[in-house]
C-alpha cells in the first residue's frame, strides 16, 4: 500500500495535463485547479496508516479492505463500511477513490 507521499511523487512523472480554458499544467500537485483533489487522494492513502482508521480500512492480514474479493456477507459489510466511512467525510463528492473499479476486476 502506498502512502500519500508516494502517490504525490508518482504524479510528477512528466505527464501532460491541460485544464480547460486554462492551458497546460506544469505540476498537478501544486496547480490551483488540481491540487485539492490531489490532497484528497493523499489523505485517502494516508488514512490506511492511521491507527484510528485501521479497523475500517485494513484487513487482519494487512491488506486494504477495498482490495478483497468479497466471499461472504461479512466481507460485503466490511467493504461497504469502508466506502461509507471514506465518502461520508466529503459528502460523497469524491466518488472515485483510487479503489474505484477494483471490484470489477474480480468479476
Whole-structure pTM value: 0.82
Q: Reply yes or no on domain 4-105 having CATH 3.40.718.10.
A: no
Band of pLDDT at residue 83, cut at 50, 70 and 90: confident
- C-alpha cell, 82: 469502508
Structural domain boundaries in the chain: 4-105
> Which of 22-26, 70-74, 92-96 has the weakest average pLDDT?
92-96
Band of pLDDT at residue 67, cut at 50, 70 and 90: confident
**Cβ contacts of 82 within 8 Å, gap of 6 or more:** 56, 57, 65, 66
> Which of 34-38, 92-96, 97-101 has the weakest average pLDDT?
97-101
Amino acid at each position: 500500500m502506498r502512502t500519500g507521499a508516494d502517490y504525490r511523487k508518482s504524479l510528477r512523472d512528466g505527464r501532460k495535463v491541460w485544464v480547460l480554458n486554462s492551458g497546460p499544467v506544469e505540476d498537478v500537485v501544486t496547480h490551483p485547479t488540481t491540487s485539492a483533489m490531489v490532497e484528497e487522494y493523499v489523505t485517502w492513502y494516508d488514512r490506511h496508516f492511521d491507527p484510528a482508521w485501521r479497523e475500517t480500512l485494513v484487513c487482519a492480514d494487512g491488506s486494504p479492505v477495498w482490495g478483497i474479493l468479497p466471499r461472504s456477507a461479512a466481507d460485503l459489510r466490511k467493504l461497504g463500511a469502508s466506502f461509507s466511512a471514506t465518502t461520508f467525510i466529503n459528502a460523497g463528492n469524491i466518488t472515485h477513490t483510487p479503489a474505484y473499479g477494483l471490484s470489477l476486476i474480480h468479476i
